[in-house]
Amino acid sequence: MVVVTGQSKVSATPDDAMSSSDAEDDFQEPATPTATQAGQALPLLPQQFPEVVPLNVGGMFFTTRLSTLRRYEDTMLAAMFSGRHYIPTDAEGRYFIDRDGTYFGDILNFLRSGDLPPRERVRSVYKEAQYYSIGPLLDNLEDIQPLKGEKVRQAFLGLMPYYKDHLERIIEIAKLRAMQRKARFAKLKVCVFKEEMPITPYECPHFNSLRFERSESETKLFEHHCEVDVSFGPWEAVADVYDLLHCIVTDLSARGITVDHQCIGVCDKHLINHYYCKRPIYEFKITWW
pLDDT in tens, 139-187: 999 999 999 999 999 999 998 889 999 999 999 999 999 999 999 999 9
Instruction: Give the chain's domain count.
Output: 2
At 36, the pLDDT band (50, 70, 90 cuts) reads very low
Q: Do 177 and 104 sit in the same domain of this protein?
A: no
pLDDT, tens digit, for every residue of 215-258?
555 555 556 678 899 999 888 888 899 999 999 999 999 999 99
Tell me how far apart the alpha carbons of residues 286 and 70 are, in angstroms, rounded to a whole number.
48
In a domain, 5, yes or no: no
25 within some domain: no
Same domain, 89 and 180: no
**Given this model, what pLDDT does residue 212 score?**
46
- Given the DSSP bridges, would you call strands 52-57 and 230-232 parallel, antiparallel or unpaired? unpaired
Domain limit, last residue, from 143, 174, 189: 143
Predicted pLDDT of residue 217 = 54
Return the pLDDT at 27. 39
Q: Is 189 found in the same domain as 110?
A: no
Q: From CA 289, how far away is CA 287, in angstroms rounded?
A: 6
Cα–Cα separations (whole angstroms), residue 266 to 16, 127, 165, 228: 95, 41, 23, 11
DSSP assignment letter at 13: P
* 273 and 163, same domain (yes or no): yes
Q: Do 191 and 129 lie in a common domain?
A: no
Q: Bigger pLDDT: 273 or 7?
A: 273
Tens digits of residue pLDDT in 56-80: 999 999 999 999 999 999 999 999 9
Provide mean pLDDT across the span 84-104. Answer: 95
Asked if residue 229 belongs to a domain, the reply is: yes
Question: In this predicted structure, what is the pLDDT of residue 31?
Answer: 45
Q: In which band, very low, low, confident or very high, does the pLDDT at 116 lie, cut at 50, 70 and 90? A: very high
Do residues 130 and 171 both lie within one domain?
no
In a domain, 21, yes or no: no
Q: Which residues of 133-143 are buried (b: 16+ CB within 10 A; e: fewer)?
A: ebeebeebbee
204 falls within a domain: no
Determine the structural domain holding residue 249 and report its residue range.
156-199+224-285
As a whole number of angstroms, the distance between CA 116 and CA 175 comes to 41
Listed residues 114, 143, 172: the one ending a domain = 143
More confident residue, 212 or 76: 76
172 lies in the same domain as 279: yes
CATH of the domain at 119: 3.30.710.10
Do residues 70 and 105 both lie within one domain?
A: yes
**Domain membership flag for residue 10:** no
Residue 43 has pLDDT above 70, yes or no: no
CA distance 76 to 55: 15
Is residue 283 very low, low, confident or very high in pLDDT (cuts 50, 70, 90)? very high
Q: Enumerate residues 6+ apart whose C-beta is below 8 A from 62.
A: 54, 55, 101, 104, 105, 108
**Predicted confidence (pLDDT) at residue 113 exceeds the cutoff of 80:** yes
Confidence (pLDDT) at 210: 40
Type of residue numbered 284: F
